[in-house]
Amino acid sequence: MEENSRIPVHVSIIMDGNGRWAKERGQERFYGHIEGVESVRACTEEAVKKGVRYLSLFAFSEENWDRPQAEVSSLMELMVKAMVNELPAFLENGIRFIVLGNRARLDDRLNAEIDDCMQRTADCRNLSLVIFLSYSGRWDILQAAKRLAAEAAENPSGLQDIMAMSTDDFCRYMSTADIPDPDLIIRTSGELRLSNYLLWQGAYSELYFTDTLWPDFRAAEFDAALEEYAKRDRRYGKVK
């Protein structure tokens, strides 16, 4: 969070409740995912308006691959369509698009669309919209450790440097190396857990839980979370 500012630099959202929202309306689960795209648009627009610099969204976890194949395929197709449809708005509003996660599990078409969208928005500066796709916190820590181990194997004489590393040094190996840790993590739908999300990066994040299902989470709900965040006293383990 910027000094003397009540607006978080980085807001992250665990988007939960699409399936329940659809079920309450007698619809298939996918109907909730479609409506959830509207919430993404609303929150992105509100983040720009409020001066948030980074908005990250937990779109699909490593564990979600265990869902029925038909649902997974539909979700991936929805992501492709959403990127294509939203790209003009990203460019018009200065929104940089970033995808982080285990992209090796994504198909070639989706990866191609991601690369295109990321490249074309790379110079946008108003907001960085970070989508965590095929992501888990444990995966992120493990891949960072593997990268560090591979580096050590290539240069055994550097082992002493590794042993002297600080947590800040280790952060350079995380998938989020170029992104500030989230100031605020929001979870919708009434669930009270992080579900293997940003376990390292969220160590000192403020947590905000709401019963609102994700398709109903729009600008007013986003603002309510920011207002609650402004009341928090962040001490980072220190005494003020």
* Given the residues 4, 16, 85, 196, the one annotated as active site: 16
Residue 33 assigned ligand-binding role: yes
Percent of the chain as helix, strand, coil, to the nearest 5: 50, 15, 35
Residue 195 assigned ligand-binding role: yes
Residue 211 token pair: 């019963």
Under DSSP, is residue 175 helix (H, G, I), strand (E, B) or coil? coil
Residue 21 assigned ligand-binding role: yes
Residue 18 assigned ligand-binding role: yes
16 in active site? yes
* Given the residues 4, 64, 155, 168, the one annotated as active site: 64
CB 76 within 8 A of CB 108: no
128: which strand partners?
A: 54, 96
Length of the chain: 240
Residue 194 assigned ligand-binding role: yes
Residue 193 assigned ligand-binding role: yes
CB 211 within 8 A of CB 39: no
What is the CB neighbour count within 10 angstroms for residue 54? 22
For residues 186 and 50, what is the distance between their CA atoms, to the nearest angstrom?
16
196 in active site? no
**Alpha helices (H) in the chain, listed in sequence order:** 18-24, 29-50, 69-93, 108-120, 137-154, 159-163, 167-171, 219-231
| Run of H or E including 131 | strand 127-135
Residue 61 assigned ligand-binding role: yes
Residue 20 assigned ligand-binding role: yes
Residue 166 assigned ligand-binding role: no
Which residues contribute to the annotated binding site for Mg(2+)?
Answer: 16, 206
Catalytic residues, by residue number, are 16, 64
Which residues contribute to the annotated binding site?
Answer: 16-21, 29, 33, 61-63, 65, 67, 187, 193-195, 206
Which residues contribute to the annotated binding site for substrate?
Answer: 17-21, 29, 33, 61-63, 65, 67, 187, 193-195
